[in-house]
Amino acid sequence: MMTDPTIPVTEDELHAYVDDELPVERRSDVEAWLAAHPAEAERVESWRKMAEALHARYDAAANEPVPPRLDLDRLDRRPRRWIFGAVAASLVAFAIGGAVGWIAHGAASSPSLLQNLAGDALDAHRLYVVEVRHPVEVPGDEKAHLQQWLTRRCGRTVQAPELETTGLKLVGGRLLPGPTGPASFLMYESTSGERFTVYATKIGIDAAEMRYMAQGNTAALSWAERGVSYVVTGGSDRTRLTQVARLVYDQSERTGG
Amino acid sequence: MSAFRQSVEAMIPALRRYARALTRDVDAADDLVQDTLVRALRSERLFLGGDLRSWLYTILTNLNKNRRRSLARRPLFMPLQDDNPDASGTEAESRDIERALATLVEEQRAVLLLVVLEGMSYREVAEIQGVPIGTVMSRLARARAHVRAVIEGQRPALRSVK
């Protein structure tokens, strides 16, 4: 079927034509239109050359033998070094937490404290969220141990919120220095690699109102309640972040975290 | 070896090609592929069917975004252009396409490579990047225009991020 070839061909249609995404019945129209528009035909031809150049340059990477470091069995062996890492990091966190706590003890009522805390949580998020093999000190499949350890070190009940309903699974957690003492830092991940973190620490103020803070592609929601402040950090999608933070909030009210 | 593992293994060569073009750096590319595989293996139990190929490309694309984010605070070093007039035709072309890719905004580069190099449909790319198809098409159009301008030695238009 020949549709009216005088219907102008759009930019999108030209790309779809080159990428084989154009409905079959429109192909001959586009070809006829291109025959009458040499400048556009030349542009489409340049896209084809671009594709050839890309394949010429990069197909070799797919034909190389796969290096041993990408062997699946080798990658599967899980490093067990986290035990030592956890001990060392908690000592450091204790030392730093102690010192900073003392320096900051007079400033606990400052209104910017929560904001500084959110900044710290954002930094921690950015630091650890890119880690693939060592994102946490204690992995999520040792949740009971993780909660016990963080509870003891943070001096409050730490329970990892259940975020499975939003597609997020607990990766694990670590201890971090907070402004007035140790902070718990929990990481969650979706199957597509999207990561959220929950940072919580004892703090001498209450601020039930959620505050939003964004830096580039990372954003955080923070609040403080019953002497504990929470910062939930994730991507810049505000709706998604709010959904996750809401879930953390609802559970922290009941269980701590 | 499980069927899941066999499917993942079969994807490694293509993932390496995509990562190589995305980062234009052999080591960084294999680091990305390695991290993608580690994450895929760890999530084996969470992967309940679906399109394994799209899933792996999604992980790799997200990891690269995170990696870029952590690099963003460091100063950016760009290699000086090596315009050797004696280079043979193919060598020069291959250098041109590499240089042009380097000047693309991250999202546009990923779209161009996923569609042109990896042969993905607009719909698959939209799912990988989590954006509407219209956004994929406009990124693709911008990427092509930009690469063409760089290769033809024009001054590329100012980058705009979408």
The CATH number that applies at residue B114 is 1.10.10.10
In angstroms, the Cα distances linking B94 to A246, B97, B100, B101, B144 are 50, 5, 10, 11, 16
Here the tokens at position A107 are: 């400033």
Which residues of A are less than 8 Å from B51 in CB distance? none
Residues B8 and B62 in one domain: yes
Q: Is residue B45 part of a domain?
A: yes
Contact A192 B59 (CB under 8 A): yes
Q: What is the pLDDT of residues B30-72, one digit of tens each?
A: 989 999 998 898 887 767 667 889 999 999 998 998 777 665 5
pLDDT greater at residue A73 or residue B70? A73
Q: What is the pLDDT of residues A147-172, one digit of tens each?
A: 999 999 999 999 999 999 999 999 99
Contact A50 B16 (CB under 8 A): no
Which residues of A are less than 8 Å from B98 in CB distance? 57
In angstroms, the Cα distances linking A231 to A132, A245, B83, B89, B113 are 22, 8, 50, 55, 37
Which residues of B are less than 8 Å from A126 in CB distance? 69-70
Residues B12 and B63 in one domain: yes
Amino acid identity for residue B4 in this structure: F
Residues B8 and B66 in one domain: yes
Q: Is residue B105 part of a domain?
A: yes
Residues B103 and B64 in one domain: no
Task: Name the pairing type of β-strands A181-189 and A138-139.
Answer: unpaired
Q: Mind giving me the DSSP string for B38-65?
A: HHHHHTGGG--SS-HHHHHHHHHHHHHH
Task: Give the pLDDT score at B96.
Answer: 86
The CATH number that applies at residue B35 is 1.10.1740.10
**Complex ipTM value:** 0.84
Q: Which of A15, A53, A192 sits opposite B93 (nearest CB)?
A: A53
Q: How many domains does chain B have?
A: 2
For residue B61, the distance in angstroms to the closest alpha carbon of chain A comes to 9
Percent of chain B with pLDDT over 90: 49
Residues B7 and B62 in one domain: yes
Q: Is the pLDDT of residue A21 over 70?
A: yes
Q: Is residue B114 part of a domain?
A: yes
Q: Is residue B84 part of a domain?
A: no
* Structural domain containing residue B133: 89-151
Q: Is the pLDDT of residue A217 over 70?
A: yes
Prediction pTM value:
0.56
Contact A53 B116 (CB under 8 A): no
Residues B53 and B8 in one domain: yes
Which residues of B are less than 8 Å from A192 in CB distance? 55, 58-59, 62
Task: Give the pLDDT score at B4.
Answer: 87
Residues B8 and B65 in one domain: yes
For residue B157, the distance in angstroms to the closest alpha carbon of chain A comes to 17
Residues B8 and B68 in one domain: yes
Residues 6+ apart with CB under 8 A from B69: A126, A130, A216, A217, A218
| Residues found in chain A | 257
Q: What is the pLDDT of residues B125-152, one digit of tens each?
A: 999 999 999 999 999 999 999 999 998 8
